[in-house]
């Protein structure tokens, strides 16, 4: 079961109404269960992470476009698989698979989702 994306919208509205300061979401990500045990060919098809990002980016977009919450930045966690303090290298949050032995990087399907989402929704 994935976390509740709309809860983020409620939180953004609360923060805006309480503090009246622009909001930067500096870390928002999802570890796919047992992804570390999968070969790269399977791990790059991270549909659970895509579903997570679909929910949360939708919540951010609705807070901005429907509720006028000034979200100035959104940073998905993480660009690359990395070392996590509590779990070491056993848990993966990255939208890019890292082979820790060779350092080879392989974009996951979630990287394509986020790339497309930002191109469609962010104005420069």
Q: What is the pLDDT of residues 30-89, one digit of tens each?
A: 998 899 999 999 999 999 999 999 999 999 999 999 999 999 999 999 999 999 999 988
Return the higher-pLDDT residue of 90 and 20.
20
pLDDT value at residue 123: 79
Question: How far is CA 13 from its chain centroid?
Answer: 19
pLDDT value at residue 1: 47
Q: Identify any residues that bridge with 73 across adjacent strands, giving them in sequence order.
A: 24
How many percent of the chain have pLDDT more than 90? Answer: 86
Which sequence spans correspond to the domains of the chain? Answer: 5-14+24-117
Q: What angle do CA 90, 95, 100 make, to 5 degrees?
A: 40
Q: Mean pLDDT score of the chain, rounded to an integer? A: 94
Question: How far is CA 105 from its chain centroid?
Answer: 18
pLDDT value at residue 118: 95
The answer to whether the CB of 69 falls within 8 A of the CB of 16 is yes
């Amino acid at each position: 079961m994935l976390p509740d994306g709309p809860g983020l919208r409620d939180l953004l509205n609360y923060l805006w109404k309480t503090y009246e300061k622009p909001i930067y979401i500096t870390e928002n990500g999802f570890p796919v269960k047992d992804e570390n045990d999968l070969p790269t060919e399977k791990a790059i098809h991270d549909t659970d992470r895509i579903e997570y990002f679909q929910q949360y980016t939708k919540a951010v977009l609705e807070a901005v476009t429907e509720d006028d919450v000034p979200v100035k930045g959104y940073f998905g966690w993480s660009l690359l698989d990395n070392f996590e303090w509590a779990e070491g290298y056993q848990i993966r949050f990255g939208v890019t698979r890292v082979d820790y032995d060779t350092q080879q990087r392989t974009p996951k399907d979630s990287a394509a989702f986020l790339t497309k989402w930002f191109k469609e929704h962010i104005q420069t």
